[in-house]
A and B are shown apart, each in its own frame.
Chain A
Amino acid sequence: MRRQFDSPIVLLGARLLSPYIMVFGWYVIFHGHYSPGGGFQGGALLAASILLMRVAGGRRVSRLQIREFATTPLAIIGVFIYFATGLTAMAMGGYFLDYEMLPLPGLDPPSLRYYGILIIEVGIGLAVMAILIMIFDNMVKGEDYA
């Protein structure tokens, strides 16, 4: 194990960079259905911003963002959003993930597909972010690297 030291420059650089990575991740998620990117890439970007803070700032700082026990419920919520959308379309008489059958009032089928894919992408992004953070937390096992 290497010697630990506090570097304010590293912490300041990570604090400067992390919110912009997170905003770019949300941009990628919300533009994923008509441009390159999508739920997986956006979720990985969100996870990268939070992992950057965990590596640079240690547990004392990163606990303010997302705690260790909150990652599993976030992943469950993401998977639940995905399967709830798909199974709702199935229950309304279509196939699995058949976005035209979603019971959103006042929308024509192209808009239904548009918003259906958007809901799916948000669910996938949440699940990917939570599971990547969970992998990091379980690898670190309570030790501090900052």
Chain B
Amino acid sequence: MIWELELVICIFLALSAIVALEVKDLLVAVVMMTVFSFLMALLFVAMGAIDVGFTEAVIGAGVTGILFVVVVFQTSRKSND
């Protein structure tokens, strides 16, 4: 694997993680989490673990994104107590 490409993927990985932690809108944080897991899947494939990368892409970018969106829609921002 080309190390320049891995370096770029790692930089974008750290950037997406920081944005997901610091952003105010929760929906943006969910999208950044899916971007994070997709880049993680690319790194897994680059390191030769194709099966792990496949699972990470399907579960992390597909199913948990939808479940997080449902959780964001079912909770309110401000507490009522």
Q: For chain B residues 37-71, which have a beta carbon within 8 Å of chain A? A: 50-51, 54-55, 58-59, 62-63, 66-67, 69-71
**Which of B59, B62, B70 interacts with A139 by CB under 8 Å?**
B70
Query: Do the beta carbons of A41 and B74 come within 8 Å of each other?
Result: no
Residues of A within 8 A of B63 (CB): 44, 47-48, 51, 132
B50 cross-chain contacts in A, Cβ below 8 A = 36
Residue pair A51, B66 in contact (C-beta under 8 Å): yes
What is the total of A-B residue contacts with beta carbons within 8 Å? 46
Residues in A with CB closer than 8 Å to B12 are none
CB atoms of A37 and B54 under 8 A apart = yes
Q: Does A9 contact B (CB under 8 A)?
A: no
Q: Report the interface size class on chain A.
A: 20 to 34
Total interface residues in chain B, CB < 8 Å: 15
Cα of A143 to Cα of B70 in the assembled complex, Å: 10
Q: Which residue of A lies closest to B71 (CB)?
A: A139
Q: What residue of chain B has the Cβ atom nearest to residue A21's Cβ?
A: B62
B54 and A36 within 8 A (CB): yes
Which B residues lie within 8 Å of A124 (CB)? none
Q: A99 near B: Cβ within 8 Å? A: no
Q: How far is the CA of A28 from the CA of B50 in the complex (A)?
A: 13
A: residues with CB less than 8 A from B are: 1-2, 28, 36-38, 40-41, 44-45, 47-48, 51-52, 55, 132, 135-136, 139-140, 143, 145
Give 9 nearest A-B pairs by CB, closest first.
Answer: A48-B62, A36-B50, A44-B58, A51-B66, A36-B51, A139-B70, A41-B54, A41-B58, A36-B54
Given contacts A41-B51, A41-B54, A41-B58, 15 further A-B contacts (CB under 8 A): A1-B73, A2-B73, A36-B51, A37-B51, A38-B51, A40-B55, A44-B58, A44-B59, A44-B62, A48-B58, A51-B63, A135-B67, A139-B67, A145-B70, A145-B73
